[in-house]
Amino acid sequence: MIGNLNLWWVAKTSDSALLGIFLLLSFATLCLHTEMKGLYRKVGSEWFYYQAPTPKGGIRPKAVALGTCDEVDAIRMVVEKEIDGLVLVAEIKDTLEVVLPLYYAAKKDDRKSTRRTRRLVLDSVKDRMGNPRVRDITKQMIADWRCLIVVSGGTLLSNKGLSPTSMTSYLIILRAFLNWCVKENFLRKNPAIDMGRQASVKRTRRMDFLTIEEREKLLDMPGADYLELILHLGFFAGLRIGEMLVCKKEWFYIADDRSHGFLRVEPTVITLDDGRTTTWEPKTNRGVRKIPLHPRLIAFLDRYGFPDPYLLAPQKPLFPCDEKCSLRFDPKRGLAAHAKKCGIGKIGYHMLRHSFATHLAIGGATMAEIAGLLGNTVTVAENSYAGYAARTKNLLPGL
């Protein structure tokens, strides 16, 4: 009836001002007869926002700013479906599919192996969680994801269940990504920030370090010079493989009487494959670290010598560019074959570093001392090695 009266009124008048009043009345009538669920005005803002209904089983759309402070105009925009495109964008905005490429681009300068592992893990997170918006990821979703990858594997390329150590490393990758999202304002709070602390303690279970007997078997078995160097630098100095590759004779000081010495892990100028030079920075939270030399390491270095320009694989002096293998020399196969000869299962060079720290913890070293030698924080040392701390010192006089 209201519509009929309005039409009659327009027919009786030609005044443009009255026509404008008619339009306002029409929109007001529309407002009365249209359910504007999802239309609201934010506190402290004059603009109207529209929150589209969440499709069943779909992603909750993000609220869209309509760019108007007039309620009638806002209703008209919604009714005439002028914002369908905006609502569609809101549904996919800030999802993992959109944010992950931005994260990969921000981390493009990392090592190739790091980038590859990160992409495999996070792409798997996206597919297994159903590509949610970053802000919608909850602690429960992360817990469900962790339960899923225990059975079905951690990446799309593997359907094998994961060990607790691998699960911890995957969670660290996800946590780092969510920390970046908080920094870039995609997320207010990282839901994974306090998850996995107990899992990280499992890093030094029996499978993650070698006993004294196993260490001695590896050292007693004759092998290539580079393997013996890796074993000594790992077991008696706790160096990472990257630090072993950069290690130069300038890092070492040995007293003339060979009674003592130390090793300084410090920034080092390296030459890239294309001829450019850059400064290698040690991965450490403690700055330049100084490691006392074990007598057995000093004795080995006297036999091995100090070749130029690097101790390990001096015949390969150039470091690769970013697009090539991140290690200029990878002795993984040689180390695994050496362990097999000794009757020891699969090992890696990082296990030597864990063995160094675990033996120190068993021998009575404090967590602060271990953290200083490894270049880690005390918290990281406690999470990894506190379970092996001994009540009395000097249980391992040979170390």
Check if the beta carbon of residue 277 is closer than 8 Å to that of residue 271.
yes
How far is Cα 350 from Cα 358, in angstroms, rounded to an integer?
12
pLDDT at 256 over 90: yes
pLDDT at 173 over 60: yes
Give the pLDDT band of residue 5 (cuts 50, 70, 90): very low
pLDDT at 202 over 70: no
pLDDT in tens, 44-65: 777 788 877 776 655 566 677 7
Which range, 58-67, 134-143, 198-207, has the best average confidence (pLDDT)? 134-143
Among left, alpha and beta (phi > 0; psi -120 to 50; other), residue 198 is alpha
> H or E element: which one contains 362?
helix 349-362
- What domains, with CATH codes, occur in the chain? 2-91 (no CATH), 96-195 (1.10.150), 206-388 (1.10.443.10)
- CA 390 to each of CA 298, 358, 364: distance values in angstroms, whole numbers, following the listed order: 27, 10, 5
Least confident of 69-83, 170-184, 255-269: 69-83
pTM, full prediction: 0.52
Check if the beta carbon of residue 312 is closer than 8 Å to that of residue 266.
no
Give the pLDDT band of residue 296 (cuts 50, 70, 90): very high
pLDDT at 19 over 50: no
The predicted structure's pLDDT at residue 151 = 64
- CA 84 to each of CA 57, 66, 80: distance values in angstroms, whole numbers, following the listed order: 19, 11, 9
Mean pLDDT of the chain: 76
In the chain, what is the straight-line distance between the N-terminal and C-terminal CA atoms, in Å? 97
pLDDT at 87 over 60: no
pLDDT in tens, 337-362: 999 999 888 788 889 999 999 899 88
Which range, 142-151, 192-201, 238-247, 269-278, has the best average confidence (pLDDT)? 238-247
Paired tokens of 305 = 């010598």
Average pLDDT over residues 92-118: 85
How many helices (H) and strands (E) the chain has is answered by 17, 8
Burial of 354 from C-beta contacts in 10 A (0-12 / 13-18 / 19+)? buried
Higher-confidence residue of 347 and 196: namely: 347
The predicted structure's pLDDT at residue 80 = 66
Which range, 63-77, 240-254, 341-355, has the best average confidence (pLDDT)? 240-254
The predicted structure's pLDDT at residue 14 = 46
The predicted structure's pLDDT at residue 297 = 95
Average pLDDT over residues 296-305: 94
Least confident of 96-110, 201-215, 220-234: 201-215
Average pLDDT over residues 197-210: 49
How far is Cα 87 from Cα 265, in angstroms, rounded to an integer?
54
Higher-confidence residue of 151 and 200: namely: 151
